[in-house]
Amino acid sequence: MPSCVLAYSGGLDTSVILGWLQDEGYDCHCVYVDVGQPCEDREAILQKAHDCGSKSARIVDVREEMCRDFAFPTLQWQAKYEGIYLLGTSIARPIISKACLEVAREVGAEAFAHGATGKGNDQCRFQLAAEALDPNVKIIAPWRMESFRNSFPGRTELIEYCDIKKIPVKASAAKPYSSDENCLHISYEAGELEEVDNNGVGMVDFGMGVSPQDAPDATEEVTIGFESGMPVSVNGKKLGALDVIETLNTIAGRNGVGRIDIVENRFVGMKSRGVYEAPGMTALYHAHLHLEQLTLDRDLVHLRDQLSPVVAEMVYYGFWYTPKMDALLAFIKEAQKPVTGEVKLGLYKGNLEIHGRTAEKSLYDAEVASMEGGGSYDQTDAEGFLRLMGLPSRVQGTVRPRSY
């Protein structure tokens, strides 16, 4: 009998897919990849998988690895998809594929199944990562199969199937939107959020913090420490990657930081509207950028800024396990070596202020920069500098005078 690994959440969709795969003749090994989903009884989810006929079921906790090896390198690039989105869902998908394929190799499964739809980005991220790691893996994506969609055209049919199969599910009324959460962020989309003329931020019941209007009336300060561009401490306390994120989620969340509402361009071609919250990562991006201003030279930063949108696209589309990304990650690791120091942020009703920054390898020289005299800069040198910089323009102006 053929076997497959199923990325399993225990929700309605993956519960139905587990039963359907068994109907199709597969032995199924369910893998719950823990990326920080909230308020879920993980042991109950595993028991449900066993009760529903799964050949095996396990939890794989990848939270620390995801923060350290995926989220923080993306942060070092200051990568934001289309200049706004901090890529919280995108970052999680390649490591979910990796975890599932590791289980597939262990149990001898030849297929990897997931519940992503045929319209979204996640199908791309799962499949591109899986095929890069195992070129021979078979991908089973039921929502891309017409026979599956004909059997389950809507939520009613999914629930009816669970009733017939005696699969326990919480058959609650449809929410006005759907959400996906991990320790990096929560995304909200679909349902009523597909109407772009409504107030998405006003509609969503956010889960990681308060609104700016409900945040405290006093500024809260937080100090974030970095070593070679990697966040390593909060308020002077050394922390692991996951603890940095969770600590800053709490601090920034209670101050209303990190909410956005965007219309983005999906990889598959259509536009979609999403509301996102990422309080901890928003604070990290802000602090990291301002530490770089002290420690990195102009040309290196400008080159990084040219490549940052490329990295954001690759993460968003799902091209994590590629030679191009390998090279870009090696580049940023080298570029970030001087980015060590601390940044003190002031958080106030959704706003982030810089209240101080220090770096042991700071390139900022107050005497050189000062408008007062002193330092090693001789203003007389600027005369020759500007004559050289202006030479092409003077030659052009002589040959082809401009009207003014």
- pLDDT tens column, 44-93: 899 999 999 999 999 999 999 999 999 999 999 999 999 999 999 999 99
Side-chain-facing half-sphere of 303: CA atoms under 13 Å: 10
- pLDDT tens column, 328-343: 999 999 999 999 999 9
Q: Indicate the SS3 state at residue 332.
A: helix
pLDDT at 172 over 80: no
350 shares a domain with 218: yes
156 shares a domain with 234: no
CA 143 to chain CA centroid, Å, is 24
Which of 165, 196, 212 is the last residue before a domain boundary? 165
Is 276 assigned a ligand-binding role in the annotation? Answer: yes
Residue 13 annotated in active site:
yes
pLDDT at 34 over 70: yes
* Cα gap 89→115, rounded to integer Å: 15
Residue 71 resides in a domain:
yes
Domain range holding 118?
3-165
Residue 298 annotated in active site:
no
- pLDDT tens column, 286-330: 999 999 999 999 999 999 999 999 999 999 999 999 999 999 999
Is 321 assigned a ligand-binding role in the annotation? Answer: no
Q: What is the pLDDT of residue 173?
A: 53
Is 92 assigned a ligand-binding role in the annotation? Answer: no
* Cα gap 129→94, rounded to integer Å: 5
Residue 73 resides in a domain:
yes
Lay out the sheet containing 178-181: strands in order across.
178-181, 186-189, 271-277, 259-265
pLDDT at 363 over 90: yes
Q: Contact, 159 vs 17, CB < 8 A?
A: no
Neighbours of 134 (CB within 10 A): 15
Is 248 assigned a ligand-binding role in the annotation? Answer: no
Using 50, 70 and 90 to split pLDDT, how confident is the model at 104? very high
Which residue in 23, 155, 178, 326 is the catalytic one? 178
Q: Contact, 88 vs 276, CB < 8 A?
A: yes
State the pairing for strand pair 3-7/111-113. Answer: parallel
Q: What is the pLDDT of residue 372?
A: 75
37 shares a domain with 151: yes
257 shares a domain with 228: yes
By C-alpha distance, which of 292, 80, 280 is closest to 186?
280
Is 122 assigned a ligand-binding role in the annotation? Answer: yes
Residue 93 annotated in active site:
yes
Is 272 assigned a ligand-binding role in the annotation? Answer: no
Using 50, 70 and 90 to split pLDDT, how confident is the model at 378? confident
H-type alpha helices, 108-210: 122-133, 146-151, 155-165, 200-203
Q: What is the pLDDT of residue 39?
A: 61
Q: What is the pLDDT of residue 171?
A: 57
This prediction's pTM: 0.94
145 shares a domain with 26: yes
* Cα gap 227→339, rounded to integer Å: 6
Residue 324 resides in a domain:
no
144 shares a domain with 202: no
pLDDT at 167 over 80: yes
Tokens 């068994």 belong to 22
pLDDT at 174 over 70: no
Q: Contact, 320 vs 212, CB < 8 A?
A: no
Which CATH number goes with the domain that contains 185?
Answer: 3.90.1260.10
Which residue in 13, 261, 272, 357 is the catalytic one? 13
What is the secondary structure of 32-95 as a DSSP string? EEES---S--HHHHHHHHHHTT-SEEEEEE-HHHHIIIIIHHHHHTT--BTTTB--HHHHHHHH
Is 113 assigned a ligand-binding role in the annotation? Answer: no
Q: Provide the domain count of the chain.
A: 2
* Cα gap 159→154, rounded to integer Å: 9
282 shares a domain with 151: no
217 shares a domain with 85: no
Q: Which residues contact 23 (CB under 8 A, 6 or more apart)?
A: none
Indicate the residue type of 210: V
Residue 400 resides in a domain:
no
213 shares a domain with 112: no
- pLDDT tens column, 184-235: 999 999 889 999 999 999 999 999 999 999 999 999 999 999 999 999 999 9
Residue 395 resides in a domain:
no
Which residue in 93, 259, 273, 304 is the catalytic one? 93
Using 50, 70 and 90 to split pLDDT, how confident is the model at 177? confident
By C-alpha distance, which of 329, 202, 215 is closest to 261?
202
Is 151 assigned a ligand-binding role in the annotation? Answer: no
Q: If you average pLDDT over every residue of the chain, what do you get?
A: 94
What is the secondary structure of 211-268 as a DSSP string? -GGGS-SS-EEEEEEEETTEEEEETTEE--HHHHHHHHHHHHHTTT--EEEEEEE-TT
Calculate mean pLDDT across residues 25-42: 89
Is 54 assigned a ligand-binding role in the annotation? Answer: no
Which CATH number goes with the domain that contains 77?
Answer: 3.40.50.620
Which residues share a beta bridge with 42? none
264 shares a domain with 149: no
By C-alpha distance, which of 229, 194, 257, 204 is closest to 332?
229
202 shares a domain with 117: no
Percent of the chain whose pLDDT exceeds 90: 84
110 shares a domain with 36: yes
pLDDT at 161 over 80: yes
